[in-house]
Amino acid sequence: MTSAAETPPSTGGRAARPEHLGHVVFITAAAAMGGFLFGYDSSVINGAVEAIRSRYGIGSAALAQVIAIALIGCAIGAATAGRIADRIGRIRCMRIAAALFTVSAVGSALPFDIYDLAVWRIIGGFAIGMASVIGPAYIAEVSPAAYRGRLGSFQQAAIVIGIAVSQLVNFGILRLADGDQRGRLLGLEAWQWMLGVMIVPALLYGLLTLAIPESPRYLISVGRTRDAKEVLAGIESKDVDLDARAAEIELAMRREHTSTFRDLKGSRFYFLPIVWVGIGLSMFQQLVGINVAFYYSATLWQSVGIDPSGSFFYSFTTSIVNIIGTAIAMVLVDRVGRKPLALVGSTGMALALACEAWAFSAPLVNGRLPATQGTVALIAAHVFVLFFALSWGVVVWVFLGEMFPNRIRAAALGVAAAAQWIANWTITASFPSLADWNLSGTYLIYTFFAVLSIPFVLLFVKETKGRTLEEMG
């Protein structure tokens, strides 16, 4: 996908004036609806895990593959989204994702068997992968530099809101089913309704794409300069020379070339160093085990003696903490900077994960953790999510949208996003088996990666706050 080009101060394109900022925020929020579906789909399975295990009589290893198989689709969708968007446009790409989300929701709610369910989850995963790349890239292309960090964080905000809404919907459906994930509601089991309700936000996403403009950069790339100027008129200051602004974008694009994976190759270790930094950021974001909190939290709390309704409630409160942390990050990301937030987050996550590892090391008493360890586990789980949300949850997406030079940004972002999904799959697929082996040991592994991320950020990650996209490289 071609990168967003910032303009020199001469045209006034660096910041939107208040009269247009509201419109830019609406466009950004609509595009970030893909992030909402990303979060909703990623987390909604949390409420169905134990019901799927019971319905199809499968063990932990097979269950993990059904849960994690969507991430294979995510990796493919992320790796191919840029090329698709460059060929048919960002908006059409979003509409394809919305259609796939809708189809996946219906199929997942009405599977014939476990293999059928896996296929629908792969389709939904492909849509998530597309949304994970298209959303941030589109937002970067319509955002003024002065607001880019905050507007870019809309993607993560939408993700965490999607997670929270899915947990709330799951909790509501469970209550209607008298606390039974396999309880019948209008002819379907509760877990089927949990997966099927996603059709509502999927259709809303598709409708919102009818209300937002195509990216000016894409329009210029296909010769629709007049249309591009109309879009620019709605997001730039009234005193900006639209002809000059469009000419600047066109000139910047002529100086660029469509990035390919070949452009990412370096003289050592296959990729360029900056690409490895992006891959590292993506992988550390997942290797700390954050998605265990969203895919398996209900199962995790039930495994240490909390009843299903209580486990769903704690999953929801964790999601609320996730939103609070993300709001903090949105306020601080352009003030404090990306790198300091990442370091604070890594430190907080490491301490919280270590506390969880200690708490889960206690033997169960009558199927429950002792009172002290149970309290520590619940508090530490929420603290872990808070520190992740106010740091790595947001800054990694902002870093990936900013850190790569223009000539490789599209291809590098695709590789980094694909690496993130592979790491996500690794954690998601391995957790049930690791938890059966040693739950405390599993959390020590996540603690190790949180600690390791500190020297990684200190040594290899450069601050991008306040720098234009042209200065990256």
SS3 271: strand
* pLDDT category of residue 222 using cuts at 50, 70 and 90: confident
Identify which of 424, 392, 457 has the alpha carbon closest to the alpha carbon of residue 283.
424
Q: Which two tokens stand for residue 49?
A: 């895990």
Output the DSSP codes for 130-196: HHHHHHHHHHHHHS-GGGHHHHHTHHHHHHHHHHHHHHHHHHHHHHHTTT-TT-EETTEEHHHHHHH
352-387 burial string, b = 16+ CB within 10 Å, else e?
bbbbbbbbbebeeeeeebeeebbebbbebbbbbbbb
SS3 423: helix
Q: With CA atoms as reference, report the closest residue to 298 among 51, 69, 110.
A: 51
What lies within 8 Å, CB to CB, of 255 at 6+ separation is: none
At 368, give phi and psi (nearest 5°).
Answer: -130, 155
DSSP 3-state percent helix, strand, coil across the chain (nearest 5) = 75, 0, 20
Phi, psi of 59 (to 5 degrees): -85, 180
Q: For residue 239, give the 3-state DSSP assignment.
A: coil
pTM of the model: 0.76
For residue 446, the Cα-to-chain-centroid distance in whole angstroms is 19
Per-residue pLDDT, 456 = 96
Nearest Cα residue to 167 out of 39, 76, 66, 272 = 39
State the pLDDT at residue 431: 87
DSSP three-state, residue 404: coil
Q: What is the pLDDT of residues 127-176, one digit of tens each?
A: 988 887 888 888 878 876 667 667 777 887 888 888 889 888 988 898 89
Q: Which two tokens stand for residue 357?
A: 């590892």
Nearest-angstrom CA–CA distance, 464 and 398:
9
Give the integer Cα–Cα distance in Å for 132 and 397: 9
**Which position has the higher pLDDT, 283 or 80?**
283
Cα 152 to Cα 4, 50, 97, 299: the distances in Å are 12, 35, 20, 33
In contact, 314 and 378? CB cutoff 8 Å: yes
> What average pLDDT does the segment 310-321 reach?
82
10 has a pLDDT exceeding 50 = no
pLDDT higher at 356 or 402: 356
Tell the burial category of 461 from Cβ atoms under 10 Å away from its Cβ (0-12, 13-18, 19+). Answer: buried
Using a 10 angstrom Cβ sphere, with 0-12 exposed, 13-18 middle and 19 or more buried, the burial of residue 267 is: exposed
pLDDT at residue 2 is higher than 70: no
- Asked if 98 and 206 count as a contact pair (C-beta separation under 8 A), the reply is yes
Q: What pLDDT shows up at residue 67?
A: 80
Average pLDDT score over the chain: 83
Residue predicted with more confidence, 404 or 37: 37
Ranges 9-18, 79-88, 137-146, 296-305, most confident: 79-88
DSSP 210: T
* Burial class (CB within 10 angstroms; exposed 0-12, middle 13-18, buried 19+) of 22: exposed
Distance CA(53)–CA(66), nearest Å, equals 10
Q: How far apart are CA 454 and CA 28, in angstroms?
A: 31
What pLDDT is recorded for position 359? 92
- Please state, in angstroms and rounded to a whole number, the distance separating the CA atoms of residues 222 and 215: 11
For residue 372, pLDDT over 60 is answered with: yes
Contact 461, 399 (CB under 8 A): yes
Predicted local confidence at residue 59, as pLDDT: 82
pLDDT of residue 98: 94
For residue 324, what pLDDT band results from cuts at 50, 70 and 90?
A: very high
What is the residue-wise DSSP string for 330-377? HHHTTTT-HHHHHHHHHHHHHHHHHHHHHHHTSPPBTTB--HHHHHHH
- Indicate if the alpha-carbon torsion angle 398, 403, 406, 408 is positive or negative: negative
For 283, the enclosing helix (H) or strand (E) is helix 273-287
- Would you state the pLDDT for residue 420? 83
DSSP secondary structure of 51-116: HHHHHHT--HHHHHHHHHTHHHHHHHHHHHHHHHHHHH-HHHHHHHHHHHHHHHHHHHHS-SSHHH
2: DSSP letter: P
Q: Identify the band that residue 389 occupies on the pLDDT scale cut at 50, 70 and 90.
A: very high
Alpha-carbon distance of 86 to 341, in angstroms, equals: 33
